[in-house]
Amino acid sequence: MEIKNKARMVLDKDFKVSEIDNRIYGSFIEHLGRAVYGGIYDPGHPLSDSLGFREDVIDLVKELDVPIVRYPGGNMVSAYNWEDGVGPIEDRPRRLELAWRTIETNEVGTNEFMSWAKKANTDVMMAVNLGTRGIDAARNLLEYCNHPGGTYWSDLRKKHGYAEPHNIKTWCLGNEMDGPWQIGHKTPEEYGRIAQETAKAMRRIDPSIELVACGSSNSSMPLFPQWEATTLDYTYDEVDYISLHQYYGNYNNDPANYLAKSLDMDNFIKTVISTCDYLKAKKRSKKTINLSFDEWNVWYHSRQVDSERDPWSIAPPQLEDHYNFEDALLVGTMLISLLKHSDRVKIACQAQLVNVIAPIMTETGGAIWKQSIYYPYLHVSKYGRGNALKPIISSPVYDSKDFTDVPYLESIAVHNPENDELTIFAVNRHLTETLYLECDVRNFEEYQIIEHIVLENEDLKATNTPELERVKPHSNGNAYLDGGTVVTNLASKSWNVIRLAKQQ
């Protein structure tokens, strides 16, 4: 029988893209909707600890093995007074939160979040407010968090019950400052200057920190990529990363086109790399600016209902996208895109972690459940540690509304020399047909297949609920080794994790 859809792939230990920085499996918690209140923090819940943090949420965050979490925003940070969130909780002010038009109680602030992060076994990527505030608030927050003691702000932290500095290493210089929706929105020149001066002050306090300058809010912004060029012109010597943000949606219910959107992500990343390297050349610099893709995900299901919500309530259910199976497939291709560029993408945060456009959902006071997108994230975080390998792929292609020559096969492999495992992540974008794949694993001679995980579903619109998990992976994939070749039939519209390990 003739095989209609056939792809070929070659993997070699020497085709190394990069050692992966584990921070590309980061996430994000913003004071937004029920991410904090009713999400990670739910003091009335039977499973909450003495600080009010839900242990069942922490368990899932640990299962995902999230290395870093961006906090406290997002749009929210651009009008946030960090001082409101420290000290005795009963003295903290309630404020109008202008980004999402809610009431912020400030019950959770910097110190509580640092305690949560410690319990969840993750680092924090802290954002400073460069919207309504600037150098002074940023330097004070850094002194409060990282200075050991003997100064006003560090002693205040001690007085608040935190004797040891938090030692936060990674800091964002504001959020999406190119966006007209941002409180304190700036021109590229205004942002470049304030980011440069804030970075200088922060580095004087703690030269060991790493700084992320704001790139464009997405690749369709009118100033992209001139925004990046101007920002880096001012900040090149002071910062380590430039940020990228991107969300996709299947607005026209065109799955073939939707599943191709990771190609747009690839192009976005390539353009930002080129812009960084243009500035490197312009400045005759030896330093390379890397990329922090610190907001990425699917976000569109909840936009209509959110636009109709009345303002000024506490922790309303905002941005609660209920993800379906096709969203999980796109998330899989987006993770592959990040890994393909792991030589320059060193940090990435799936936005966000709990309830707000999130893999983990909770009912306030009640159940916890996993969305469809939980699984590709889990698999890549769990098995995608080590060296990303560039596969040489030949795959049949298709054209969609916005893309041409979209390969049905999207794939990347990761070799972990520490545990001698090789993992192939692969998506078959074909909506109706199996893709026969032969993958030459030439110099992995003593490796055997140990598992072939598959996420598949007949219904692209299938979702999970607290009661029923309709989208969940199984380990009954059909991959086998034929000499030095992995052979498999990838099910139509499927996410695959083929794991090989060296036999002892």
Build a one-symbol-per-residue string for 348-387: x at contacts with ligand AHR by CB under 6 A, - elsewhere: ---xx-----------------------------------
**E strand or H helix at 329:** helix 325-340
Q: Cβ of residue 174: shortest distance to ligand AHR, in angstroms?
A: 10
User: Does position 321 bind ligand AHR by CB under 6 A?
Assistant: no
Q: Cβ of residue 117: shortest distance to ligand AHR, in angstroms?
A: 18
**E strand or H helix at 489:** strand 485-490
- Joined together, the tokens standing for residue 44 give 């009335």
CB within 8 A of 84, min separation 6: which ones?
Answer: 92, 93, 95, 104, 106, 109
Tell me whether residue 250 or residue 352 sits nearer to ligand AHR (CB atom).
352
Q: Cβ of residue 133: shortest distance to ligand AHR, in angstroms?
A: 17
CA distance 346 to 154: 30
When binding is defined by CB under 6 A, the residue of 102, 110, 122, 175 that contacts ligand AHR is 175
- Joined together, the tokens standing for residue 259 give 């599943």
* Total residues at interface with ligand AHR (CB under 6 A): 11
Q: Cβ of residue 245: shortest distance to ligand AHR, in angstroms?
A: 6
Give whole-number Cα distances, 265 to 289, 297, 301, 494, in Å: 19, 11, 20, 20
Q: How many CB atoms lie within 10 A of CB 118?
A: 12
Build a one-symbol-per-residue string for 206-235: x at contacts with ligand AHR by CB under 6 A, - elsewhere: -----------x------------------
CA distance 74 to 71: 8
191: amino acid identity, one letter = Y
Under 8 Å between Cβ of 74 and 32 = yes
Q: Cβ of residue 98: shortest distance to ligand AHR, in angstroms?
A: 12
Give whole-number Cα distances, 26 to 241, 377, 431, 475, in Å: 15, 10, 30, 26
User: Does position 246 bind ligand AHR by CB under 6 A?
Assistant: no
The count of C-alpha atoms lying within 13 angstroms of the C-alpha of 24, restricted to the half-sphere facing its C-beta, is 27
Tell me whether residue 75 or residue 111 sits nearer to ligand AHR (CB atom).
75
Tell me whether residue 30 or residue 264 sits nearer to ligand AHR (CB atom).
30
Q: Cβ of residue 352: shortest distance to ligand AHR, in angstroms?
A: 6
Task: Determine the interface stretch with ligand AHR among 73-81, 162-170, 259-267, 371-379 (rule: CB under 6 A).
Answer: 73-81
User: Does position 178 bind ligand AHR by CB under 6 A?
Assistant: no
DSSP conformational letter for 310: P
User: Does position 30 bind ligand AHR by CB under 6 A?
Assistant: yes
User: Does position 295 bind ligand AHR by CB under 6 A?
Assistant: yes
Task: Determine the interface stretch with ligand AHR among 8-16, 67-75, 107-115, 254-262 (rule: CB under 6 A).
Answer: 67-75
110: amino acid identity, one letter = T
CA dihedral 340, 344, 350, 351 (to 10 degrees): -140
When binding is defined by CB under 6 A, the residue of 33, 39, 67, 74 that contacts ligand AHR is 74
User: Does position 75 bind ligand AHR by CB under 6 A?
Assistant: yes
Known catalytic residues? 176, 295
Task: Determine the interface stretch with ligand AHR among 72-80, 139-147, 281-289, 496-504 (rule: CB under 6 A).
Answer: 72-80
CA distance 174 to 182: 10
Task: Please name the residue that has the structure tokens 């078959």.
Answer: 428
Under 8 Å between Cβ of 273 and 265 = no
Under 8 Å between Cβ of 36 and 29 = yes
Q: Cβ of residue 73: shortest distance to ligand AHR, in angstroms?
A: 5
User: Does position 73 bind ligand AHR by CB under 6 A?
Assistant: yes
Binding site for ligand AHR (CB under 6 A): 30, 73-75, 175-176, 217, 245, 295, 351-352
